[in-house]
Structure 1
Amino acid sequence: MDLTTFWFLLIGVLWAGYFLLEGFDFGVGILLPVLGRDDRSRRLAINTIGPVWDGNEVWLIVAGGATFAAFPEWYATLFSGFFLPLLLILVALIVRGVAFEYRGKRDGAVWRKRWDTAIFWSSLIPAILWGVAFGNIVRGVPLDANHEYVGGFFNLLNPYALLGGLTTLALFTLHGAVFLALKTDGPMREQAGALAAKLAVAAVPVAAAFLIWTGIASGDVWGIAVSVPAALALVTAVVLTRVRREGWAFTATAATIVLATAALFVTLFPNVMPSTLDAANSLTTTNASSTPYTLTVMTWVAVCFTPLVLIYQSWTYWVFRKRLKLSDIPA
């Protein structure tokens, strides 16, 4: 395996890790108005992700940094062509972080309600826009001979990409509901489990339509092969949520997200951004990559520090592994 392929696969792993971990963060924020009937229950929901949400976002920073260093032309075209949706995602993530921190700074009901609303919208917007962005990356966008994006904002709002946005929204919301059922006890656990069972059934047709459309449009055998276990994992999640096996249901939704992301990257390879104008204008792992020396240095850095990051984050989840209940939240 050459270094360009290695870094393409590593970036795919980073995005899969980000969607896996930040996915349930987004889901909890989206479900806050639904399951948070009062201030204490909303605080309970927020406390389930309180120790980990900021660490989960590190995966996004690393994925973006790795793309910038390993495939600078891909990074430049992506962030210039997708400027507005990526800016909206960035603003939403900033507001979301501020909302988590500022919500408890005052005791006023209006103050907290405003920040709860901010948490909801700043979780909903990225959950949709990430699917739209990756839908366009896989589908392809208009690139000229200089690999520059020559389309407009509304080119990104095509039916396939919008279906991708609905898919990520459905999967992340389901993932968040299962996570709340896994991390809480008492009424919150029962409510989240019942809601997860309903969301699982709703997520199946949306995700299936997106994966089928991807397979038919690309005709990539390997992408279709990875999509099959992703679909099976989602169906398994439906069954497990209905019998309230929260741990295994969370494993199933996590596998669905990881495998679906893998299917997109397998379908995309060896391109990193196909051109809808002319295949010769497409960005690939070869013409978008950095120099071999840069990739070599990056590889040694990744080999040394990636295990440390994984060990630390695993330890964090282990420390905060216990369920929370309403009695843990002071009045």
Structure 2
Amino acid sequence: MDYPLIWFILIGVLWTGYLTLEGFDFGVGALLPVLGRRPHVGNGVVESENRRRVMLTAIGPHWDGNEVWLLTAGGAMFAAFPHWYATMFSAFYLPLLVLLVALIVRNMGLEYRHKRDDDTWRQRWDMAIVAGSVLAPFLVGVALTNVVRGVPLDANFEYAGSFWTLLNLPSLLGGATFVALSVTHGAHFLALKTDGPIREEARQIAWQVGIVAAVLAVLLLGWLVTTQGSLAVAALAVVAAAGLVGGLLAGRAGREGLAFGGTALTWVAATASYFVALYPAVMPTTLAGGASLTIENASSTTMTLQIMTVAALLFVPIVLLYTAWTYWVFRRRLSTHHIPAPVLVK
């Protein structure tokens, strides 16, 4: 049994799950100042706060569970491919540090904004949520695109570039695409999970931002196919494009479930195309005379991978069932009339 290949696929699945699920979380957070305001009402401050609470309540049962996919992906990389983990975290040290800070600040905002009934307090935490929700997918897109594109590794698998090496045109395009797709995905999620004005405005935002996301995705996937691609990568790129276009048209027609499913399919196919383009490498080099890390020379011992495989067979189905159950339980729509008055803490 080819255990390195199995764990390469499993890590790809974990990254796919993270981007598909956390993607709409990021999108909702980024849309907070756009859909969370209501200027033309009698009591605009109260109405605006209720809209924000509806948006955050929609992702409330899910966002922390969605982040487990990232933690599990990082842990699986560390255990299954320690050389990949070490090289990647060494090369991307500063971007990954900023990513970690962005996630921490965002999560603090989600946890702490409701602790005090004070407008200034909430506005500051809202800024943290928005900043983290935009910066995190951008940095993930930059990092993953650089992994597929390749980085300068010497013959000893040591990173020979600098921070600025990572800020190349394809990686910046990847970051921008991930942000635009997250916002589109989040808007479709809000259209599916809310009712009233937020639902209608979310559908409009999804269409407008979705067009931008489609243009960026075509450019990104076109680069991937022409420079790193194969027939399988091209097929996955077509599926990703079809999912996005279909999702936008479904949202335009008021079919929110199909719209959300379309952008979810786009995330799945796009992430899969990245990992298919990467295989059999896990960290290709762009340096003449350098050496690439592959699933063979970067993997742990066979016994380690065997033990991990048994653990995965036992626990992954449980996690999937629990996640599906959570989404089923919290499936109903929300509106501002469901939001109670804030509780004053004395």
Distance 1:112 1:215 in 2: 44
1:155-166 alignment, distance < 5 Å = 155-166=165-176
Match of 2:191 in 1: 181
What secondary structure, in the 3-state scheme, does the structure 2 residue paired with 1:171 have?
Answer: helix
| Structure 1 residues without counterparts, runs of 5 or longer | none
CA deviation after TM superposition for structure 1 residue 36, in Å: 0.2
Contact between 1:200 and 1:241, CA under 8 Å: does it hold in 2?
A: no
Distance 2:210 2:56 in 1: 22
CA deviation after TM superposition for structure 1 residue 96, in Å: 1.2
What secondary structure, in the 3-state scheme, does the structure 2 residue paired with 1:272 have?
Answer: strand
- 1:75 paired with 2:85, answer yes
Distance 2:85 2:242 in 1: 33
Contact between 2:24 and 2:186, CA under 8 Å: does it hold in 1?
A: yes
| Structure 2 residues without counterparts, runs of 5 or longer | 38-47, 342-346
Distance 1:177 1:5 in 2: 36
Match of 1:32 in 2: 32
Distance 1:72 1:318 in 2: 36
% identity of equivalent residues: 57
CA deviation after TM superposition for structure 1 residue 328, in Å: 0.5
What secondary structure, in the 3-state scheme, does the structure 1 residue paired with 2:114 have?
Answer: helix
- 1:247 paired with 2:264, answer no
Of the three residues 147, 151, 162, the one matched with 1:141 is: 151
Distance 1:199 1:122 in 2: 19
Of the three residues 185, 191, 211, the one matched with 2:201 is: 191
Contact between 1:77 and 1:148, CA under 8 Å: does it hold in 2?
A: yes
Match of 1:20 in 2: 20
- Deviation string, structure 1 residues 196-235 (Cα, Å, up to 9, x no partner): 1112222111000000011111142221121111111111
The one-letter amino acid paired with 1:85 is P
Match of 2:237 in 1: 227
- 1:107 paired with 2:117, answer yes
CA deviation after TM superposition for structure 1 residue 278, in Å: 3.6
Of the three residues 282, 291, 313, the one matched with 1:303 is: 313
What secondary structure, in the 3-state scheme, does the structure 1 residue paired with 2:246 have?
Answer: helix
Of the three residues 294, 297, 301, the one matched with 1:287 is: 297
1:49-88 alignment, distance < 5 Å = 49-88=59-98
- 1:328 paired with 2:328, answer no
The one-letter amino acid paired with 1:310 is L
CA deviation after TM superposition for structure 1 residue 280, in Å: 5.5
- 1:208 paired with 2:200, answer no
Instruction: Give me the TM-score of the superposition, normalised by structure 1.
Output: 0.98
Distance 2:203 2:232 in 1: 34
Change in Cα spacing, 1:68 to 1:279, as seen in structure 2 (3 Å) is: farther
Contact between 2:152 and 2:290, CA under 8 Å: does it hold in 1?
A: no
- 1:123 paired with 2:138, answer no
Match of 2:43 in 1: none
The one-letter amino acid paired with 1:200 is G
What secondary structure, in the 3-state scheme, does the structure 2 residue paired with 1:104 have?
Answer: coil
Of the three residues 322, 325, 338, the one matched with 1:312 is: 322
Distance 1:320 1:236 in 2: 25
Match of 1:8 in 2: 8
State which drifts further: 150-159 or 271-280.
Answer: 271-280
The one-letter amino acid paired with 2:7 is W
What secondary structure, in the 3-state scheme, does the structure 2 residue paired with 1:288 have?
Answer: coil
CA deviation after TM superposition for structure 1 residue 279, in Å: 7.0
Please tell me the root mean square deviation across aligned C-alpha atoms, in Å: 0.9
Distance 1:244 1:200 in 2: 15
Distance 1:41 1:301 in 2: 43
Distance 2:251 2:326 in 1: 26
Of the three residues 206, 227, 230, the one matched with 1:217 is: 227
Change in Cα spacing, 1:286 to 1:209, as seen in structure 2 (3 Å) is: same
Distance 1:315 1:131 in 2: 29
The one-letter amino acid paired with 1:93 is L
Change in Cα spacing, 1:122 to 1:219, as seen in structure 2 (3 Å) is: closer
The one-letter amino acid paired with 1:113 is Q
Contact between 1:30 and 1:173, CA under 8 Å: does it hold in 2?
A: yes
Contact between 1:200 and 1:237, CA under 8 Å: does it hold in 2?
A: no
The one-letter amino acid paired with 1:131 is G
State which drifts further: 210-219 or 74-83.
Answer: 210-219
- Deviation string, structure 1 residues 110-166 (Cα, Å, up to 9, x no partner): 000000011000111011111100110000000011111110000000000000001
